[in-house]
Chains A and B, each alone.
Chain A
């Protein structure tokens, strides 16, 4: 009897908790309504300031939105015209922009991490709930729990850094900050409230973990993680609206006067592409950080048990990270397209102009990420008996990858001394010049991705022999699929040289479609074939080389570096504008730094982040319970490998 009441009580508590979260979620909306209405006195205030300005004396002036081209009442003051003075740009004996850069970047890293980890937890917790295998299910659950714990510390650091960012911004760029906050006032209020809601949810989510362990309550707990992530994502989107506004302003007129429509200000043309790109990027980044954590614990592990646990954790994290990495280029492509559509010269500055060399670095990193992922999979084959059958193919795959990498990295504009230029007879090399264009690059990167898929398929079947009746046909089909995919991708790359540009740009779509065909058809077919397959040997978690773990660390470091780089690119494409074409940067730091300086700063940020996050890990490891003593040795490949 007592137990029943206890259960019932638990249920009531759970519903109450859920209700509270939904309430918390909706609260900002309610609060922002009066905030929106609270704008009515704002016109009066702005008229007061406008009255000081020479021309606009009358209260309700209409003006035209710079992007949406709609008419709206002028509500805000025009964007301030700054001068190179201590009033607009206070000096603190150091480049203000660089200080702000560091503060923002650190905030962003931590922000991404604490946004990504709950998503990560949600997936892992869900996996734990649906997994039938009790031991594995517990393992997943424990994993998710460990991560919320780490994210708690990281969360407070994020908040702290956020405070530092606002403080730095306010101190170093008071005029600009004033302008931005005058436009985004309701958004900022909503943001602050959501932030509180997020904190509350996170803490309850964490502390209710043990209480809501079983049955229906567990589902509510999973639902809570969904709510947590919804809040987190909305938070991120609000923050994105500020940077999107700075890059592609809307909702203001040509003088930067706010026209009273918050939605226009938030929903600028680049907002959604940035949202998608960032969400995926955060996830890949979160996976990377978690993988690095696992690698760290693996390398310091004292017992085989620990080693096997952290090996497994690293694998899962890496897997989730890569899953989000693969769609990332497409999101990037969309963003780029929108940038081009918004302002052509912005697009050219990025891809062919001043910042083009940064994209070369990005290309290096994308290649490196895929190489590392492949390498990790190959190293992972050491865990399985039976993998020897496939290891002899590794060298061919290395070869294909490196050839593609060489094409991928051949710069369009080669760096050379004048003597070399004369020896070559022009800027364009007759052989290598052909590798510098889009057609070849698309072919190369798609071949690299296809090879990565192939690696994964081989990894999946490394210790298995398919026993289904149609296995020979299946194998033959896989063989045909991959062979023809390679042929098709390369053929399209070559074909691109023979047709005009307006047709050529379309070729990247079938190329990508070929790659995705391999990814989906290949992996699904392979998974079906491996149902009930004969095991040659078990997966011995923990039996991976140290190099494999360093591959994980490499992945994580590269993710971090890449985020820094892409953020720098996205931000510096505004060149000398605070708000593109609305508010000019007149500070002494309006110039664009050299690539080298950017690279040094990014390195600094990356290393600083890792130093601090190691500290967070250390804090998190202080109270970690002993890893459950369920020996995963001889266990099946965990769900991610088989189910995707």
Chain B
């Protein structure tokens, strides 16, 4: 009564019944979409198998192996459809990474399970390639276990931190914008230059005074620097035009840089090479004003980036 043929028929009926039910009652469900996609992808091959099956059924009436051939094509069709449902699963969900949403990429390993099942099912009936199918199926199985475990774990996707603040190209800035940027670097915020104790990334006010008459013991008060810079250039100790005569630990900002010719150049040089010229009385103790206590502004610990320094050109 319960022969293999009957049971096979019952199983087939259940499967087709289930598929039919899904299509009839839930035509827009994920499962129905999946099957439609699979059909869309794999129908030509399926058609070939169906034609073969029909040919075996009706074209080979006298072949003793007819029943076996028909059966094999049915199994082939089954494996083929599983294969394409699995592929459709990949095609639909591969790029979607929404953790916690069921039925989404975390179910991709299900495809691997389907490959496994398809391989083993076909291995049962296709003796010629049995071992290959079994080995393949086993590998799919191992991969399915591992990938399944990976997907079963809670998912975290990590975004990179926001990119560092972009400094616009100083050369494109208006004078006002440049001044604002400078104020921000020195005092921390635009308009903070009047506030007592305001300090920015450049940390200049730690040592330098910026207001007229402010106490400035560690470093020269910078109030009125544009005019005073020109006086400094004339100082014999500055030794304009011939840096080699300077009596300092570093004679030039960079090899071949030469000396400043304008006030702006002088200020720029002082930022990059505080040792090139030390205002009398402000050198490192005991160095006889040959060495400056100020760090070069483009090196640690201040390490202003290139665009934040004043430019020579």
Contact = CB atoms under 8 A, between A and B. Distances in A.
B131 A600 contact: no
Contacts of B106: 596
Interface in A471-514: none
B48 interface: no
A295 B139 CA distance: 13
A299 B153 contact: no
A595 B112 contact: no
A300 B313 CA distance: 77
Interface in A596-644: 596-600, 602-603, 606-607, 610, 614
A345 interface: no
B253 to A, nearest CB: 9
B35 to A, nearest CB: 21
B95 A599 contact: no
B105 A597 contact: yes
Given A300-B131, A592-B158, A594-B156, A364 B149 contact: yes
A58 B105 contact: no
B143 A561 contact: yes
Interface stretch (A14-22, A384-392, A518-526, A551-559): A551-559
A354 B157 CA distance: 9
B274 to A, nearest CB: 17
B256 interface: yes
Contacts of B311: 54-55
Contacts of A361: 146, 149-150, 153
Given A54-B307, A600-B108, A561 B142 contact: yes
B257 interface: yes
Size range of the interface on A?
35 or more
B158 A591 contact: yes
Given A55-B306, A591-B159, A596-B155, A607 B143 contact: yes
The A interface, classified by DSSP as helix, strand, loop or mixed, is helix
A60 interface: yes
A575 interface: yes
Contacts of B149: 361, 364, 599
Interface stretch (A209-217, A263-271, A582-590): A582-590
Given A54-B307, A575-B158, A603-B109, A595 B153 contact: yes
Contacts of B175: none
B99 interface: yes
Contacts of A59: 256
B158 A354 contact: yes
Most buried by A among B95, B131, B134, B255: B131
Contacts of B306: 53-55
A415 interface: yes
Interface in B46-88: none
Contacts, number: 130
A600 B139 contact: no
Interface string A364-387: 110000000000000000000000
A357 interface: yes
A600 B153 contact: no
B178 interface: no
B139 A557 contact: yes
A594 B97 CA distance: 8
B156 A600 contact: no
A578 B306 CA distance: 22
Contacts of A596: 97, 99, 105-106, 108, 147, 150-151, 153, 155
B236 interface: no
A387 B36 CA distance: 56
B23 interface: no
Contact of B157 (A300, A415, A591): A591
B168 interface: no
A593 B138 contact: no
Contacts of B135: 295-296, 299, 553
A592 B157 CA distance: 6
A593 B138 CA distance: 27
Contacts of A595: 150-151, 153, 155-156
A553 B139 contact: yes
A398 to B, nearest CB: 19
Nearest to A584: B163
Interface in B266-294: none
Contacts of A553: 135, 138-139
Contact of A58 (B155, B163, B255): B255
Most buried by B among A61, A95, A357: A357
Given A61-B254, A603-B112, A296 B131 contact: yes
A361 to B, nearest CB: 6
A340 interface: no
Interface in B234-257: 254-257
Contacts of A101: none
Contact of B154 (A58, A415, A598): A415
B208 to A, nearest CB: 22
Interface in B100-119: 105-106, 108-109, 112
Contacts of A354: 156, 158
Contacts of A365: 146
A600 B109 contact: yes
A600 B95 contact: no
Nearest to A357: B153
Given A54-B313, A584-B163, A595-B155, A557 B142 contact: yes
Contact of B140 (A60, A295, A598, A607): A607
Contact of A590 (B136, B160, B307): B160
B309 interface: yes
B255 A602 contact: no
B161 interface: yes
B90 to A, nearest CB: 9
Most buried by A among B160, B171, B311, B313: B160
A67 interface: no
A361 B154 CA distance: 12
A593 B97 contact: yes
A576 interface: yes
A360 interface: yes
A145 interface: no
A575 B160 contact: yes
17 contacts: A54-B306, A55-B298, A55-B309, A58-B257, A299-B135, A357-B156, A360-B153, A361-B149, A364-B146, A365-B146, A553-B135, A558-B146, A591-B159, A596-B147, A602-B146, A603-B143, A614-B136
Interface of B: 94-95, 97, 99, 105-106, 108-109, 112, 131-132, 134-136, 138-140, 142-144, 146-147, 149-151, 153-161, 163-164, 171, 254-257, 298, 306-307, 309, 311-313
A-B CB proximity, top 6 nearest: A599-B150, A576-B160, A596-B151, A594-B155, A592-B158, A603-B147
